[in-house]
Amino acid sequence: MKKKKSWLILFLAVLLIFTLEACSSSGGNKPKSSQQSSSSSRVSAKESSSSSSSNATKKDVKMEEMQRVGSDDYGYIDIPKKWVKFTDVNGDDSIQYTDGSAYNIVTMNGYTKEKANIKEREEFTAQTIANRIYYNWQNNAGVKKIWGSKSTVAGNEAYQVNVIMKSGQYLISWIFKKDEKVYLIAFEGDRATLIKFINYIENTWSLSKEKTKI
């Protein structure tokens, strides 16, 4: 399946050319956070807590209705079986799946130091990549609200960049490092679907292709 435009693919293309100097000069350290709370409450912001919805997801989606997607390079997560793989017209080597609406999309990628185009004075960390992503969104005219936070993905500390577009679309990115690679998992779409995917992303990611119980 092909899609006309993906916000996430557009910023991933920019991600590889930004340097630490560019981020620092524009206050790109926003993803820093000394607090860590559930992604459900962070994404909801001033709205009501979504923890009950997350719990309901565990009951409503049975193991046999899920599929394991990803690759050895990017890791794997469990997502609903009805979601299908597609290729964005803008290119990129990310793995993407959609529910068929071409609006709700999950994106996966992984970066070595070379692929991330880390410069001599930069550190190859999840925070560096998160800063680049934050800076790119910060200068996007379509953004209504952006903030950084922290969470965990399968026990790995993750920097989270949260974006709400003026159109109402949510774009959330989880960036974390494991061994010698920085991994990126991102979701774009509506809030109801996002709430379900928080659990899939944070609790089922691993480098193993075997399904994970949630």
**Tokens encoding 85:** 């793989």
Query: Could you tell me if 153 and 79 are in contact, meaning their C-beta atoms sit under 8 angstroms apart?
Result: no
Kindly tell me the burial class for residue 64, based on how many C-beta atoms sit within 10 Å of its own C-beta (0-12, 13-18, 19 or more): exposed
pLDDT of residue 212: 66
Query: Is the predicted pLDDT of residue 5 greater than 90, yes or no?
Result: no
Asked whether residue 113 carries a pLDDT value surpassing 70, the answer given is yes
> To which residue do tokens 């185009």 refer?
117
> Residue 33 belongs to what H/E stretch?
none
C-alpha to C-alpha distance for 194 and 188, rounded to whole angstroms: 8
Residue 201 — φ and ψ, nearest 5°? -70, -50
Q: Which of the two residues, 138 and 46, has the higher pLDDT score?
A: 138
What's the pLDDT score for residue 86?
84
6-28 pLDDT, tens digit each:
655 555 555 554 444 444 444 44
- For the cut 90, the answer to whether the pLDDT of residue 99 exceeds it is yes
Q: Identify the structural domains of the chain with CATH numbers, from first to last.
A: 2-204 (3.40.1000.10)
Q: What is the pTM of this model?
A: 0.79
**Does 92 score more than 60 pLDDT?**
yes
User: What is the reported pLDDT for 88?
Assistant: 73
DSSP tag of 206: B
pLDDT of residue 33: 44
Q: Is 31 exposed, middle or buried (0-12, 13-18, 19+ CB in 10 A)?
A: buried
Instruction: Render pLDDT for 30-62 as a digit per residue (tens, 0 to 9).
Output: 565 434 444 544 554 434 334 444 454 455 555
Show the tokens assigned to 37.
Answer: 């709370």
Rounded mean pLDDT of the chain?
80
Confidence band, pLDDT 50/70/90 cuts, at residue 195: very high
* CA 146 to each of CA 69, 111, 173, 185: distance values in angstroms, whole numbers, following the listed order: 28, 23, 11, 17
**% of the chain residues with pLDDT over 70:** 67
Mean pLDDT of 124-131: 96
The partner residues of 95 in beta bridges, in order of sequence, read: 108
What's the pLDDT tens digit per position in 144-172?
Answer: 999 999 999 999 999 999 999 999 999 99
